[in-house]
Chains A and B, each alone.
Chain A
Amino acid sequence: MNVADMPTDVAAATRTEDLLAAVRAIAQGPLAERAQAIDEGAYPADLLHALGAVGAMSAHIDQPGRPGSYMDAMAAMAEAGKVCGATAFMMWAQAAAALYMDASDNEALHGERLQRHLSGATLGGTGMSNPMKCFAQIENLLLRATPVNGGYRINGTLPWVSNLAAGHYFGAVAAVEGEPGREVMFMLHCDAPGVTLKPCPRFSGMEGTGTYAVQCKDLVIGAGDIVADPCRPYIRRIRAAFVLLQCGIAAGITQGAIDSMWRVEDQLGHVNQYLDDRPDQLQAELDDLLATVARLAETPYDTSEAYFLDVLGARLAGGELCLRAANSALMHQGARGYLMSSDVQRRVREAQFVAIVTPAIKHLRKEVAALCADTLPA
């Protein structure tokens, strides 16, 4: 039977299964072989193109004959994340860039350009860490935009932007000079004149994520690259979806950790029974969280405060759970998990990354506290 002829829910379930089967084939085949190399610094461009080709980083976007499903996009990320957290993180970056382009009113970002991105033919990322922290009053905007004929001249340096290489692009925000409180969001091309990618100091893991500091010197942005101007109303519309998608990374790393506990249960269960956070308990917590995430994934563009609080709460729970799961997996595996070649110790560093990448646990809590506080007259 052709998918197009099936009842909608059956067709959707079939699409989900097909997508996850295709992602699983990549994840447990070539990705599993290269996960350690990626951790140590090898950027897997070919695997990302392959994941894009099977629709692993575009499932959340409405496409002709296929309504977008945020849950499918997160499930695909999780499928890769069980094997390699760094790859799940890059899938998130690519998916976030897709969201920026798709949600923009600028037609120049749609059409062929969006299709090439959705199919993974071209790759991109997100430089939104700094603006997200800026809007949460954690830091100042680092890029400055000076209006020029029909566009802007951009200056400044953005630290730590991921999924980059020559030919890639990412969503960024700059403060408009002379207009306090106004910012412009745009797609920044790594190859554009005035842009320099500068290598970062060596991190303890996730080294193959194409992460650079991006220096802009008189970079000119034209109308075709503007995502939103001004950008605050736009960001209000997409911020929950942006944060929610990250739950896919956390879910994958947590599931990978739980799976690694079961792998030693037969041999070590007699001593592992004395540990905190046993795999069945963690699985029950992960399943609860995924049920919440699935409910939230039905309305990703809800702009209400209550919904955003729920999303922040789910992302927070994901970060905390994957830290506990990865740590407990190492306790369960013992010395074999502590080997430099073990996925179990790598996953501890991946989980720590989920907990510190924007929005980090501390940022999420600060944001939740601010949203919970009473609004009173000034």
Chain B
Amino acid sequence: MSSPAAEPPIPYRQYICHACGWIYDEAKGDPDSGLAPGTRYEDIPDDWACPLCQVTKADFSPYTPPVRPAAGAAPRTAAAGPRVAGKAAPGVVIVGGGRAGWAMAEALRALDAALPITLVSGCAADVYDKPLLSVALARRLAMDSLVRETGAEAAERLGVRLMARTQATRICPRTLTLSTTRGTLPFSELVLAHGAQVALPPALPAELCWRINHLDAYRRLRESLGLPDTGVWPAGMSPHVAIVGAGLIGSELANDLALAGCRVSLIDPQPEPLARWQAQGAGQTALRAWQDLPIRFIGSVGVAAVEEAGEHKRLRLSSGEVLQVDQVIAATGLATPHRLADSAGLTWRQGIAVDPVTLATSHPRIHALGDCITIEGQASRYIEPIGRQAATIAAKLVARRQGAGPDACPVPYAHRPAAVRVKTSSCPMTLG
């Protein structure tokens, strides 16, 4: 009854080697090195070595196997999707899981039910309305209510292979492949819809300044401000936020945070907010509307430095003034990241240059839409054009698969200036 393999009073434990991952299981021992099954870890001599990599007992620690769902219980998104003879069938690969990426997937699926579509997204690719991030506090929108559909749900509904939390790193135009941090994807058509990022001036370090350009960052900003999900701070609590940049996004966020009870310092090198629409008096209108809100507009100054100051952040302004705040938000304008476009040698004009009618890039198999493109050197980072751009590209790609010529463009894109609605709820404006 004292056989070591019999059920012991204390269950056998496992220990993992930090160097190579080999697991010492007390139940099995290490008979090749003279450790009988049942040898407890503490009874292993100090000169015993890992049979795989030779490190000693000191480099082992207790190991609990992770609990994982039974095989087949959960769908494995990365492996799903149409396959031919064990290989992913080349189809359309979309880079970007925001509004433009999903609009593209919707438009393609509407025209072709069988087309293999893969969507590569750096985030979870949850579907939400980005403009809501500028009004969510005033409207008391809880974080969860912002997500209309998770990325996984949208992928399921549209029959799209979603590669979430995956970075697209390189396009090889010769082999028509996209390298990603989860493998290399062949494509017959590639659509870039990866958007733009906030362009941080050197005085604003990334680790101290929030940029509200996607849902994850917005969620984390709300957490950092201690904002309950009801969207209102408890009485007596009123964090101080500095917003650098009083363009559209900066002004909208200032308005929203102030309505929720935040003290806001809104800083801009121009003498008034929304200076781009000065001729229409936008800045003066906004300032009048903010008179009774805790917003202080600090115009005609730059930010010389942002530093950590204990729990707070300290901003040194070019005027000499020093502000101590709880959080800093940079709303300093957008720029398109260029590494991916560069890797394919795409023509670049402050963004991915596309044909104004077909939205093709300089490579015939690569199209682009949304915030990452420029037309005649101009970006137009608004919501309205995205749906029309997706329709143009979808019609062209589907026609090409059906045998149309490479340049056939059944639904030409009409480039036109967008009207801008300023979602400063204290004073909504439409600007041209």
Contact = CB atoms under 8 A, between A and B. Distances in A.
Whether A and B are associated in the same complex: the answer reads: yes
Interface of A: 130, 139-140, 142, 156-160, 198, 200-201, 213, 215, 281, 284-285, 288, 306, 309, 313, 316-317, 320, 365-366, 368-369, 372-378
Contacts of A215: 49, 54, 56
Contact of B167 (A142, A160, A306, A372): A372
Contact of B55 (A142, A317, A366): A142
B169 A313 contact: yes
Interface in B41-86: 49-56, 58-59
Given A159-B20, A159-B54, A376 B169 contact: no
B217 A365 contact: no
Interface string B163-197: 00111011010110001011010000000000001
B327 interface: yes
B182 A139 contact: no
Nearest to A361: B183
A365 B122 CA distance: 13
Interface in B128-181: 165-167, 169-170, 172, 174-175, 179, 181
Given A365-B181, A377-B209, A159 B53 contact: yes
Contacts of A369: 165-167, 181
A323 B122 CA distance: 27
A345 to B, nearest CB: 22
B59 A285 contact: no
A309 B339 contact: yes
Contact of A142 (B19, B49, B207, B328): B19
A377 B327 contact: yes
A159 B54 CA distance: 6
Interface centre among A200, A372, A373 (most CB of B within 10 A): A372
Contacts of B59: 142, 156-157
B54 A200 contact: yes
A368 B53 contact: no
Contacts of B211: 374, 376
Contact of B217 (A281, A306, A374): A374
Nearest to A212: B54
B49 A198 contact: yes
A160 B53 contact: yes
Nearest to A157: B55
Contacts of B169: 309, 313, 316, 368, 372
A140 B20 CA distance: 11
A289 to B, nearest CB: 10
B206 interface: yes
A323 B110 CA distance: 39
A20 to B, nearest CB: 26
B339 A201 contact: no
Interface string B230-259: 000000000000000000000000000000
A377 B208 contact: yes
Interface centre among A160, A201, A215, A365 (most CB of B within 10 A): A365
B46 to A, nearest CB: 11
A288 B210 contact: no
Given A139-B19, A372-B167, A372-B169, A213 B53 contact: yes
Nearest to A310: B339
Contacts of A198: 49, 54
Contacts of B197: 374
Contact of B220 (A139, A213, A284, A376): A376
Nearest to B56: A157
Contacts of B343: 313
Nearest to B209: A377
Contacts of A157: 19, 49, 54-56, 59
A372 B54 contact: no
Contacts of A288: 172, 174
Contacts of A200: 53-54
Contact of A375 (B19, B165, B206, B328): B206
A365 B18 contact: no
A89 B46 CA distance: 34
Given A157-B59, A198-B54, A288-B172, A374 B18 contact: no
Interface string B112-133: 0000000000100000000000
A368 B174 contact: no
B348 to A, nearest CB: 15
A139 B53 CA distance: 14
Nearest to A130: B19
Contacts of B54: 157, 159, 198, 200, 213, 215
Given A139-B18, A377-B210, A317 B56 contact: no
Contacts of B206: 374-376
A282 to B, nearest CB: 10
24 contacts: A139-B19, A157-B54, A159-B50, A159-B53, A159-B54, A159-B55, A160-B53, A198-B54, A200-B53, A201-B52, A215-B54, A215-B56, A309-B169, A313-B170, A316-B169, A365-B181, A372-B169, A374-B197, A374-B211, A374-B217, A376-B217, A377-B220, A377-B224, A378-B207
Contacts of B53: 159-160, 200, 213
A158 B49 CA distance: 12
A365 B210 CA distance: 26
B122 A213 contact: no
A333 to B, nearest CB: 22
Contacts of B179: 313, 316-317
A306 B207 CA distance: 18
Interface string B192-223: 00000100000000111111000001001000
Nearest to A371: B167
Nearest first, the 6 A-B pairs at minimum CB distance are A213-B54, A159-B53, A375-B206, A157-B55, A372-B167, A369-B181
A210 to B, nearest CB: 15
A364 to B, nearest CB: 9
A285 B339 CA distance: 19
A284 B174 contact: yes
Nearest to B54: A213
B24 to A, nearest CB: 15
A146 B288 CA distance: 66
Contacts of B19: 130, 139, 142, 157, 159
Nearest to A277: B175
A343 to B, nearest CB: 26
Given A313-B179, A368-B167, A142 B18 contact: yes
Contacts of B56: 157, 215
B175 A375 contact: no
Given A140-B18, A157-B49, A309-B169, 8 more contacts: A157-B19, A157-B54, A158-B55, A313-B179, A316-B179, A369-B165, A374-B206, A376-B211
